[in-house]
Amino acid sequence: MVQNVSRSRTGGVILALSLTALFGCASGRAVAPATMPSVPGATAAMVEPVVPQLQRMRVTLAPSVRVVTAITNVSYEAPEGGVRLQRDAPYSLPVTASGTGNLRGETWLEREGTITGKTPLKYDAQNDLYHADILLDATRVQAGDYNVMAALESVEPITDPRPLHVELGTTIPSDVLTEVEVFRAFFDTDVSTLRDDDRARIQELASKLRPYGSAIVTISVEGHCDTRGEEIHNLELGSNRASSLMKIFGESLPEIPIGIHSLGSDNPDPPGNTDEDWAKNRWARIRIESK
């Protein structure tokens, strides 16, 4: 079999096939040309071989198509102004993305080249969207502005145009808060000077509050007196007692506003008129307003 190949004007490939009239070509044997039988007195004549009509077959090459997968949009849901993280309360940030359907993908936060909270995207076939909840923990996230990003497989990620602002909040542990607020510094009669043991105790309490300074709005120190004496004098004395305690706290927590409030002799507890009752009403205490 002889095969001729030519190319058509339309760009396809044309295969031209011709068959020999001789048998033996398939087996690879040499075949002698055909001759007419010998006839006495006749002149030998050459016989032209019969060439069969060519059969043509058109082959079309289909172009390959590369499918590009990509995120077309990503957005998050958060309070206006950003997210405030507490140490004991992780925050779940909802993220939604749209793009090529049902592929592997991830979403994350990025700030100054650092990636945080990388989370797999889940495909929602009914709405043709991707969803994820990025868990933000105050022990692993720093305060600042983050880009919320998402990508499918190995394609370049896309970013929500709104940076996510993150603040780190702190909560005063309940045992520390209780320890501070049950404390009372006691005074001698008509005296506003702190005793040495109370001064040391106030410094200790201030050091326990210092790590949670960002959670404190204000500190108020209240001063109280026993029921003896004129009330105008007791109001002044109560204010001086509160000021003595405030000075110690102010040295240890200078960034926190501290106010004083004199209670005079109001609401004595206990209400008796013995030396023991009076001694229990000469005090100053701390009140904290926290976030």
> Could you give the domains of the chain?
1-62 (no CATH), 71-168 (2.60.40.10), 174-290 (3.30.1330.60)
Q: From start to end of 43-180, where are the E strands?
A: 55-59, 71-76, 83-85, 91-99, 105-111, 114-120, 122-124, 129-136, 144-152, 158-159, 164-168
Band (pLDDT 50/70/90 cuts) for residue 141 is confident
Residue 49 pLDDT? 64
C-alpha distances in Å from residue 253, one per residue of 2, 173, 201, 210, 261: 101, 17, 15, 7, 19
- What's the distance, Cα to Cα, between the start and end of the chain in Å? 94
Residue 113 pLDDT? 86
Cis peptide before 270 (omega within 30 of 0): yes
- Using an 8 Å Cβ cutoff, are 109 and 147 in contact? yes
Band (pLDDT 50/70/90 cuts) for residue 65 is very low
Q: From start to end of 175-215, where are the E strands?
A: 184-186
Band (pLDDT 50/70/90 cuts) for residue 63 is low
Band (pLDDT 50/70/90 cuts) for residue 29 is very low
What mean pLDDT do residues 213-226 have?
92
Q: Please write the tens of the pLDDT for every residue from 183-204.
A: 999 999 999 999 999 999 999 9
- Using an 8 Å Cβ cutoff, are 106 and 119 in contact? yes
Q: Which residue has the higher pLDDT, 66 or 88?
A: 88
